[in-house]
Structure 1
Amino acid sequence: MIPAPSELQPLELDGFGAVRGSVALSDPLSMRIEPGTVLGIVGPNGVGKSSLLGAIAHSGVASYGTAAFGGEDLGRSRAKRRAQLVSLMAQDHGAPGELLVRELVGVGAWASSREDPHATVGSALTRAGIAHLADRRYATLSGGQRQLVQLARVLAQNTPIVILDEPTSALDLAHQRAVEQIMRGLGNQGRIVIAAIHDLSLALNTCTRVLLLDPGGASHNGAPHEVLGADRVFAAYGVRTTIHTTPQGRRILAADD
């Protein structure tokens, strides 16, 4: 389902950041994320990528500043309203194991009160490539299959802002490429996609913008090939890298040694 024109609004972070134990995890972020943006959040372990995603989604992570969608402060929105605007696929893929896959994906459709939740669930299962798992118990699935189920749940929620935490971490090569295509497709529909990503090559090939979080709290926001240049990657990760381009135009960021 393509978002209505009224849902194609920017997300604006104003002096925004996540807090852990009363400590800000980064310098305040002020940026405007336009409809259709696929934003990759990258940085070393422990810099607060997952916390930032949780703070934007207001999923139990403390924050400061404001995150506003179309001028509406998400922090002040009611939970039901926020569920119509923001969906989150967290790293923790836990869910009641006795649920059928179609029931768990249906949670997303019901959360945002979509008009035809059953059709929405079927479409989401198909897009995630797991329609054949619809009647399986969640507890019987592999880690990669559970990740795809959680992605389908987010797709069924059908929100203008889609937040994904390490969406390809447990997937094989074919499913990684499928998720890349889904992310790009969501952006092409005008949705805002924000994903925490460890695979910098994935960020180069999938994202329209990249936000690099440094261990010291600073951040860099811009075009992927600019933000992931050799000097900034070395400053953040301590590894010398080069971006290579395949004959097909795909970019690969590799360590020099």
Structure 2
Amino acid sequence: MIPAPAQLRQLRLTEFGAIQGSTALSDPLTLTLEPGTVLGIVGPNGVGKSSLLGAIAHSGIASYGSALFGEEELSATRARRRAQLVSLMAQDHGAPGELRVSELVGVGAWASGRADPGDAVASALARAGIAELQDRRYSELSGGQRQLVQLARVLAQNTPVVLLDEPTSALDLSHQRAVEQIMRGLGNQGRIVIAAIHDLSLALNACTRVLLLDPGGSSHNGAPHEVLGPDRVFAAYGVRTTIHTTPKGRRILAADD
């Protein structure tokens, strides 16, 4: 479902960041994300990618600064209203094992108050490519299947801002490509997608912008091929890389040694 025009608003982060204890995890971020942006957050382990997503979603991660969707401050909105604006697929795919897949995906539709939860669940399962799992119990699924169920839950929530934490980490090649297409499709619908990603080739192909978080707390954002140029990747990861382009235009970032 394409968002209503009223939902097509900017997400503005102003001097924003996540806090762990009393420590800011990165330098303050000031970004304006237009409708249709697919932003990949990349950087080495431990720089705070997941925490930044949790801070935007206000899901138990403390934050500083401002995160405005349109004119609504996300940290100040009530939980039910925030669930209509922002959905989060976390790295932790835990959920009650006795729930059936359709029930768990239905939690997303319920959270945002969908008027057609049954249709939302069916559509989300089909888009995630797991309609055949709808009657299975969550405890019976593999790690990759659980990841796809959590993606379907987010799709059923149908929010204008979608946050994905390592959405392809447990998936095989075909499902990685499917998730990449889903991310681009959400952007084409006018949603704002923010994904924490370790796969830099995925960031090059799925994202319209990339935010690189450096270990020292600084950041760089812009076009994927510019932010993921060899000098910046080496400064962040300590690895020399080259971006290769296939005959069909896909970009692959590979280590030089």
Quote the residue 2:2 is aligned against.
2
Counterpart residue identity of residue 133, structure 1: L
Quote the residue 1:124 is aligned against.
124
Q: Distance in 1 between matches of 2:209 and 2:6?
A: 23
State the 1:15 CA deviation. Answer: 0.4
State the 1:210 CA deviation. Answer: 0.1
Quote the residue 1:158 is aligned against.
158
Q: Distance in 1 between matches of 2:11 and 2:200?
A: 24
Quote the residue 1:198 is aligned against.
198
Quote the residue 1:36 is aligned against.
36
Counterpart residue identity of residue 190, structure 1: G
State the 1:248 CA deviation. Answer: 0.8
Counterpart residue identity of residue 168, structure 1: T
Q: Distance in 2 between matches of 1:114 and 1:6?
A: 17
Q: Distance in 2 between matches of 1:190 and 1:171?
A: 26
Q: Distance in 2 between matches of 1:172 and 1:221?
A: 29
Alignment of 1:89-104 (within 5 A): 89-104=89-104
Q: Deviations over 1:175-212 (max 9, x none)?
A: 00000000000000000000000000000000000000
Alignment of 1:1-257 (within 5 A): 1-257=1-257
SS at match of 1:146: helix
Q: Distance in 1 between matches of 2:14 and 2:249?
A: 36
State the 1:71 CA deviation. Answer: 1.5
SS at match of 1:132: helix
Counterpart residue identity of residue 73, structure 1: E
Q: Distance in 2 between matches of 1:4 and 1:63?
A: 29
SS at match of 1:19: strand
State the 1:174 CA deviation. Answer: 0.2
State the 1:115 CA deviation. Answer: 1.0
Identity %: 83
Q: Distance in 1 between matches of 2:12 and 2:90?
A: 22
SS at match of 1:225: helix
Q: Deviations over 1:115-174 (max 9, x none)?
A: 100000000000000000000000000000000000000000000000000000000000
Q: Distance in 1 between matches of 2:100 and 2:38?
A: 31
SS at match of 1:60: coil
Counterpart residue identity of residue 176, structure 2: Q
Mark the runs of 5 or more structure 2 residues left unpaired by the alignment. none
Q: Which runs of 4+ in 1 moved over 4 A?
A: none
State the 1:69 CA deviation. Answer: 0.1
State the 1:64 CA deviation. Answer: 0.2
SS at match of 1:41: strand
Q: Distance in 2 between matches of 1:121 and 1:223?
A: 34
Counterpart residue identity of residue 184, structure 1: R
Counterpart residue identity of residue 239, structure 1: V
Counterpart residue identity of residue 51, structure 2: S
Q: TM-score, normalised by structure 2?
A: 1.00
Counterpart residue identity of residue 204, structure 1: L
Q: Distance in 2 between matches of 1:63 and 1:71?
A: 18
Counterpart residue identity of residue 156, structure 1: A
Count of aligned pairs: 257
Q: Distance in 1 between matches of 2:26 and 2:67?
A: 15
Q: TM-score, normalised by structure 1?
A: 1.00
State the 1:21 CA deviation. Answer: 1.3
